[in-house]
Amino acid sequence: MTEIVAADIGGTHARFALAEVESGRVTALGPETVMRAADHASLQMAWEAFAAIIGRPLPRAAGIAVATPVDSDVLKMTNNPWIIRPALIPQKLGVDTYALVNDFEAVAHAVAQNPPKAFRHICGPDIPLPESGVVSILGPGTGMGVAQLHRTGGAYHVIATEGGHIDFAPLDSIEDALLVHLRKRHNRVSAERIVSGPGLAVIHEVLAARAHRPIVPTDDKALWIAALAGDDSLAAAALDRFCLALGSYAGDIALAQGASAVVIAGGVGARIADHLPTSGFRQRFIAKGRFEAKMNRMPVKLITHPQPGLYGAAAAYAQKDQG
């Protein structure tokens, strides 16, 4: 058994926990400590604050997930001023071994290592995730995270992707209007402009214009609350349209990755878990022409682990350590 530090570093918050790993698996994940990134000048200082909180020296091994691609010498995150230089992690954090992964790569590791009870069925056949083959993992949040999990019996491999940045593909006149609206702001319109947390406000704005209704200024959080409550008909209509677009997008990702199952994660995914099964998500998900029968056989799940990023960071270290 090896004790490690698991860290999930986002734009607003940094989460830490102690974890235990053995034989390539996470065997225990301790309680999380959540810090506001703005309260600490660097990852090193937050790391030291975590050590002070638990009151003892930290283990010299770590699994770290960060909300940015990890394939450069200097890592910078949106909404977080920290700069992380991977080559300096052993020196700055006092670790001998570590795994550094993208935040959604970590979620894919969590999907790979969690038991069936950690997943909620959304639509399609109510069967467990396959033990062999590809699982597509996507998560609407501030942006759209996408990863690919390839299982081969008892082993697995995770592939990090930037699938949220593929082009948005409208399928009807309302989505045509969304594309036209966004082209006024951006040279290129990616899928995550629509199927992410901020996308609901864009949809809401376009629907209001089509209905000749004034737009009452509100922040994203308030709009999501109104949409989920169903008290505001325009906000509710925007949420329905969001689910349609998400279904189309999820189906496209599954086809592109050759998947036999899909797992939804992310903060927005958790918010809409109750709404997705009764929305038009499934109809759009399977509407892939000659591949409709294939899509109809594909289960769609939602991961319910409360901290998949932390768990996945530990799982990424466990897999690397085993290798």
Give the annotated binding-site residues for ATP: 7-12
CA 199 to chain centroid: 15
Q: What DSSP letter does each residue of 1-41 carry, written as one string?
A: -EEEEEEEE-SSEEEEEEEEEETTEEEEE---EEEEGGGSS
Distance CA 133, CA 143 (A): 26
Closest CA to 112 of 159, 67, 150: 150
Closest CA to 47 of 1, 4, 77, 78: 4
Distance CA 239, CA 52 (A): 43
Retrieve residue 92's tokens.
Answer: 């700055």
- Cβ neighbors of 309 (< 8 A, separation 6 or more) are 8, 10, 15, 65, 103, 106, 107, 110
- Tell me the pairing of strands 97-102 and 61-66: parallel
Specify binding-site residues: 7-12
Q: Is 169 exposed, middle or buried (0-12, 13-18, 19+ CB in 10 A)?
A: middle
Distance CA 99, CA 110 (A): 14
Helix/strand/coil for 247:
helix
Distance CA 1, CA 23 (A): 8
Beta bridge partners of 264: 138, 302
